[in-house]
């Protein structure tokens, strides 16, 4: 028996030792795998950092090359040599269905200023961003005018019906879109205001004050006055000019009204205007109407008779469901004779 116990104890000890060694090996394997995974992640992170650094250096090099290629054009001012900067690489093409042409032109002008594009090459750069139908519209213009950016800009604004008056309406009625930010709304309003002022050639603070005053005066004028000066309505920006037109218009209207009233009074005194009932009485006396007079009198007599009978019926047979709460005092009366004084208890209304 002692032999069996000793053997069993040794067997259990060996099994326990083997299990501990196995667990130790598994633990070491897991730690080794964890270290390998960590090293792999470190290598990937370092590789991403190197890729990012290479991309940054490449972009920096491209910008330096572009700046170096644009610098000789600006310094030497060679008119026949076009700019070597491609605008469509830094700006999206214009989409007439989705984009605002005024905002697009503002963005183009800012980008052209940043890239130092000469004024004589701005139209060529702008055309590369426009759709074919608008390019054809510019091509129909005279060659000398089509080279001028300001002329092409005015042509595009006219093509999309963005006049000074349209910019004014957009500035006054523009609302913030739900998906846009307040900065976007601010720049949109600023662009509409600048389009309004530039369209009317407002350059100084005094001109701006005059424009604000004229705009308020226009809102308070009559529709008749607006229709009279419709052709020049949007171009009036001087308060003195506006007030002079209003005063002249009011004087002329008062004169015309007084003359018209005097003419009507004179014609009335001469008998040219007579009351309608006199003309109607003359028509009745005419032979064409006289043959119908008997029928008309009979009809009126019958109608009056029916109205009296209906009134008597309502008095004799009142509606019992009628609400008498609005009467000052409800007085019972006889159902047979309608009298208020002689009452039959079996015939009360």
What pLDDT score does 294 carry? 63
Please tell me the least confidently modeled range out of 15-29, 106-120, 174-188, 207-221: 174-188
Average pLDDT of 133-138? 82
Structure-block tokens of residue 263: 């003419």
What pLDDT score does 78 carry? 45
Based on its alpha-carbon atoms, the radius of gyration of the chain, rounded to whole angstroms, reads 49
* Model confidence band, residue 80 (pLDDT cutoffs 50, 70, 90): very low
State whether 55 and 102 are in the same domain: no
pTM, entire model: 0.34
Give whole-number Cα distances, 346 to 83, 330, 343, in Å.
Answer: 116, 19, 9
Q: Is residue 99 part of a domain?
A: yes
Q: Is residue 45 part of a domain?
A: yes
Give the list of residues 6+ apart from residue 267 with CB closer than 8 angstroms, or none: 273
User: Which of 108, 126, 161 is at the close of a domain?
Assistant: 161
Q: Is residue 25 part of a domain?
A: yes
Domain span at 214? 165-254
Q: Is residue 12 part of a domain?
A: yes
Give whole-number Cα distances, 319 to 187, 314, 324, in Å.
Answer: 73, 8, 10
pLDDT tens by residue, 214-238: 888 888 888 877 777 777 777 777 8
State whether 18 and 62 are in the same domain: yes
Give the list of residues 6+ apart from residue 160 with CB closer than 8 angstroms, or none: 96, 101
Q: Is residue 277 part of a domain?
A: no
Helix (H, G, I), strand (E, B) or coil at 348: strand
């Amino acid at each position: 028996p002692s032999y069996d116990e000793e053997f069993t104890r040794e067997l259990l000890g060996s099994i326990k030792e083997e299990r501990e060694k196995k667990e130790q090996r598994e633990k070491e394997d897991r730690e080794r795998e964890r270290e390998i995974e960590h090293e792999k992640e470190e290598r990937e992170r370092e590789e991403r950092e190197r890729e990012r650094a290479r991309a940054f250096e490449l972009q920096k090099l491209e910008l330096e090359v572009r700046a170096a290629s644009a610098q000789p054009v600006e310094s030497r001012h060679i008119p026949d040599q076009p700019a070597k900067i491609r605008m469509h690489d830094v700006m999206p093409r214009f989409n007439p269905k989705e984009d605002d042409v005024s905002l697009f032109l503002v963005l183009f002008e800012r980008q052209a200023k940043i890239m130092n594009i000469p004024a004589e090459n701005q139209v060529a750069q702008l055309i590369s961003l426009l759709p074919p139908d608008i390019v054809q519209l510019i091509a129909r213009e005279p060659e000398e005018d089509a080279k001028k950016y300001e002329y092409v800009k005015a042509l595009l604004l006219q093509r999309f019906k963005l006049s000074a008056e349209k910019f004014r309406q957009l500035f006054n009625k523009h609302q913030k879109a739900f998906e846009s930010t307040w900065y976007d709304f601010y720049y949109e309003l600023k662009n509409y205001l600048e389009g309004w002022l530039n369209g009317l050639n407002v350059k100084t603070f005094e001109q701006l004050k005059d424009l604000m005053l004229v705009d308020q005066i226009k809102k308070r004028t009559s529709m008749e006055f607006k229709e009279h000066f419709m052709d020049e309505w949007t171009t009036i920006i001087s308060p003195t000019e506006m007030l002079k037109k209003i005063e002249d218009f009011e004087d002329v209207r008062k004169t015309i009204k007084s003359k018209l009233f005097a003419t009507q009074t004179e014609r009335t005194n001469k008998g040219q205007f007579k009351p309608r009932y006199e003309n109607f009485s003359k028509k009745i006396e005419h032979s064409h109407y006289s043959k119908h007079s008997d029928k008309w009198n009979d009809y009126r007599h019958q109608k009056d008779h029916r109205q009296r009978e209906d009134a008597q019926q309502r008095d004799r047979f009142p509606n019992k469901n009628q609400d008498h709460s609005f009467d000052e005092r409800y007085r019972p009366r006889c159902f047979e004779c309608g009298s208020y004084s002689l009452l039959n208890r079996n015939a009360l209304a």
